Amino acid sequence: MSESTIIDMKQINKGYMLGTEKVPVLKNVDFRVEKGEFVAILGPSGSGKTTLMNIIGCMDVADSGEYYLDEQPIHCMTEKQMGIVRNKEIGFIFQNYQLIPTYDILQNIIMPLVVRGMTTKEAEKRCMPVIEMLGIGHRLGHKPSELSGGQKQRASIARALVGEPALLLADEPTGALDSASGRDVLALFRQLHGLGNTIVMITHDLNVAKAAGRIVHIIDGCLA
């Protein structure tokens, strides 16, 4: 594994119990992503792409295999250590935004920094350049329910970016948006990629996947 590799997965297997039977979801997956890459994992429903994303995002663990994120052996980590990795190394962008409905947009955006141990004041100061870049400065005091889908996704992207993570992980980022907003978000991803961010995007839509620099197909738990 070279220093330029950010994701290095070897022989990853994952299955779920369905009654008494174990159903394999990922089968001997080998997957590498280099720093600065924009990769799309493309596959139909039930192909195992969300499970793969959960393992990449340290929200789930593989049954077997090795996973290194920025040279850190995730497969050997405890839940607490994985929490620290999620906070410092990964920025999540979800299909349905996953903003906390009772917090306003600013509070939602600064949460990764607050979790990291910053005060609200420090975190607000730190996140301002990102907010300006995403053009949502005028919506900071609003609750998520008061924003359009596109604005919510921008807020979600801002939250993913404020912690300056090594990896941006996007799960169907345009899935809940209209086509215009979807195009905006993809343009934003290209812009972020241009700024040197590593992005792994999961989608079932080939047109969306085409925004990435590399497309990896997943079918029945196997990468093609």
Query: Can you point out the beta strands (E) in the chain?
Result: 5-18, 21-34, 38-42, 64-69, 72-73, 90-93, 167-171, 199-203, 214-219, 222-223
CB nearer to another protein: give 122 or 220: 122
Q: Which is nearer to another protein, 57 or 173 (CB)?
A: 57
Q: What size, in residues, is the chain?
A: 224
Q: Closer to another protein at the Cβ: 57 or 221?
A: 57
CB of 33 to another protein, least distance (A): 20
Tell me the HSE value of 16 on the side-chain side, using a 13 A CA sphere: 8
Interatomic CA distance for residues 145 and 147, integer angstroms: 6
Q: What whole-number distance in Å separates Cα of residue 31 and Cα of residue 66? A: 11
Query: Nearer Cβ to another protein, position 139 or 159?
Result: 159
Measured from the CB of residue 220, what is the shortest distance to another protein in angstroms? Answer: 21
Residue the block writes with tokens 């290095």 = 8
* d(C-alpha 48, C-alpha 142), whole Å: 36
> d(Cα 125, Cα 103) in Å, to the nearest integer?
18
Q: Give the closest residue to 169 by CA, choosing from 134, 212, 106, 128.
A: 212
Smallest CA-to-CA distance from 97 within 145, 31, 33 is with: 145
Using the minimum distance from each CB to another protein, give the nearer residue, 114 or 215. Answer: 114
**Could you tell me the smallest distance in angstroms from the CB atom of residue 168 to another protein?**
13
Q: Which is nearer to another protein, 57 or 182 (CB)?
A: 57
Q: How far is the CB of 2 from another protein (least distance, A)?
A: 27
Quote the least distance from Cβ 156 to another protein, whole Å. 10
Q: How far is the CB of 179 from another protein (least distance, A)?
A: 26
Binding site for another protein (CB under 8 A): 54, 57, 59-60, 79-80, 83-84, 86-88, 92, 94, 98-103, 107, 111-112, 114-117, 119-120, 159
